[in-house]
Amino acid sequence: MGTRLREETEYRPKPMIEIGGRPILWHIMKSYAAHGFTNFVICLGYKGDTIKEYFLNYEAMNNDFTVELGRPESITIHQAHQENGWRVTLVDTGHSTMTGARVRRAARYITGDRFMLTYGDGVSSVDLRRLLAFHEQAGTLATVTGVHPSSRFGELLVAGSRVAQFSEKPQTHEGVINGGFFVFERKALEYLSDDPSCVLEREPLERLAAEGQLSVYRHDGFWQCMDTYRDLQQLNQLWESGGAAWKTW
């Protein structure tokens, strides 16, 4: 629901907040498509109708078209966008449902024995093909991408009473955090429940880890989630300056 971005999310769901005039959801999907993954299942919750409307109107809003007045059925779309071949399934998974239950409720639309999963509020330069290959070689039921987040504070390297080096918002290297960008075997769905309180990051992933079925793919490149208005501003500044490292298309 993006409560820390209430200025934006009062009117639209967090994945529809725009970076460079496009929803962050679009940026995430473009990243997957750039690696050849174009079959999407989107779990809808808070203000999910906004996302439905976005895709229902996608062709008209992202193409030139000709309409003959008096003949509403006569619409000619002049192809202009590059998102050809995307298959997007939109699934209502409940207004307040937790992450694990959302995935479980969308499982009927997941085809094949393996699927990828990520959140709707983070962008990264992660090589998704390499992530998939790593997962296949690891042989576990699940793989999570581990990232080094940027510190929200300036780091001081101190020598006595003087600052020897100042680094504004450095990337931390002390440990990795869950950066999303998962790969799951279909059997991992058995660890999830459609109970609305099922949180993916709690019992399901904890149990997978305890059983030795959770691998970590370390990504040392760009990663940024959009939790606050400050994060939103930073991502827009990167996009406008041409420094959007997640733009791999």
Convert the pLDDT of each residue in 18-51 to its tens digit.
999 999 999 999 999 999 999 999 999 999 999 9
CA distance 39 to 32: 9
Cβ distance 105 to 194 under 8 Å?
A: yes
> pLDDT class for 10, splitting at 50, 70, 90?
confident
> pLDDT class for 73, splitting at 50, 70, 90?
confident
- The chain-wide mean pLDDT, for the chain, equals 90
Question: Residues 158-164: what's their mean pLDDT?
Answer: 62
Q: Span 3-148+176-241: which CATH code? A: 3.90.550.10
Which 3 state secondary structure label does DSSP give 176? coil
Convert the pLDDT of each residue in 201-210 to its tens digit.
999 999 999 9
Which has more confidence, 153 or 101? 101
CA distance 214 to 73: 52
The pLDDT of residue 100 is above 80: yes
Convert the pLDDT of each residue in 168-203 to its tens digit.
555 555 578 999 999 999 999 999 999 999 999 999
181 φ/ψ angles, rounded to the nearest 5 degrees: 50, 65
Q: Which two tokens stand for residue 196?
A: 């609305």
CA distance 15 to 1: 9
Strand partners, 64: 78
The pLDDT of residue 157 is above 80: no
pLDDT value, residue 153: 54
Q: Could you tell me where the beta strands, DSSP code E, fall in 150-192?
A: 155-159, 162-167, 177-178, 182-185
Cβ distance 91 to 44 under 8 Å?
A: yes
Which 3 state secondary structure label does DSSP give 248? coil
The rounded percent of the chain whose pLDDT value lies above 90 is: 75
List the domain boundaries for the chain.
Answer: 3-148+176-241
Q: Which two tokens stand for residue 3?
A: 């409560």
